[in-house]
Amino acid sequence: MAKVKAAKPEIGTVPIRWLDDVAEHDYAAAQAYLSLRLDEQRASKVITRLRKAPVTKRRANDILRAARLDPAPLEDPGVIKDLIKVIEGKKLSPVLLIRDVDRADIADGFHRVSLVYRIDPYGEVPLRLHDAGA
């Protein structure tokens, strides 16, 4: 069987590198966001379930469509901050996503998803996904 070579990044592009797991401070950020949408007890339960969810990957365009969001522009300060990390060779943290009956919600990582979308709409984003409908 023929060996498949890993695709090399195109000249002039910077590959996005990802941490293997979500950064601890991202759970706190997700908790703060979710506490605006849910009561504190429910928000805490969702965070606990997100911590237990496996890291998987989804395409940036699909995440934004499911969340019914437009991507932030490249000139957005949060996107610029993440772009600088990528250029410096730093790894980004996977995203925290909640799926409900008819939509998804990015609990943490909107700017990271937007950055990936702006570079490659079909680029894969690692994430932990909690199914709130389950």
pLDDT at 98 over 70: yes
Q: Is the pLDDT of residue 12 over 70?
A: no
Q: How many residues does the chain have?
A: 134
Residue 11 lies in a domain: no
Contact criterion met (CB below 8 Å) for 72 and 110: yes
The CA-CA-CA angle for residues 129, 13, 18, to 5°, reads 30
Mean pLDDT calculated for residue range 21-25: 97
Helix H or strand E encompassing 42:
helix 40-52
Can you tell me the distance from the alpha carbon of 69 to that of 65, in angstroms, rounded to the nearest whole number? 6
Asked, for residue 13, whether it belongs to a domain, the answer is no
pTM score of the predicted model = 0.88
The CA distance from 112 to 83, in Å, is 9
In a domain, 48, yes or no: yes
User: For the chain, how many structural domains are there in total?
Assistant: 1
Query: Please, what is the average pLDDT of the chain?
Result: 91
Q: Is residue 45 part of a domain?
A: yes
Residue 61 lies in a domain: yes
Provide the domain limits for residue 66: 24-131
pLDDT tens, residue by residue, 36-92? 999 999 999 999 999 999 999 999 999 999 999 999 999 999 999 999 999 999 999
Q: Is the model's pLDDT at 16 over the cut of 70?
A: yes
Position 9 confidence tier, pLDDT thresholds 50, 70, 90: low
Look at residue 10 and tell me if it is in a domain. no
Can you give the CATH number for the domain in which 44 is found? 3.90.1530
Strand 104-108 with 95-99, pairing: antiparallel
Q: Is residue 2 part of a domain?
A: no
Residue with tokens 């949060």: 78
Identify which of 55, 54, 34 has the alpha carbon closest to the alpha carbon of residue 45: 34
Residue 49 is predicted with a pLDDT of 96
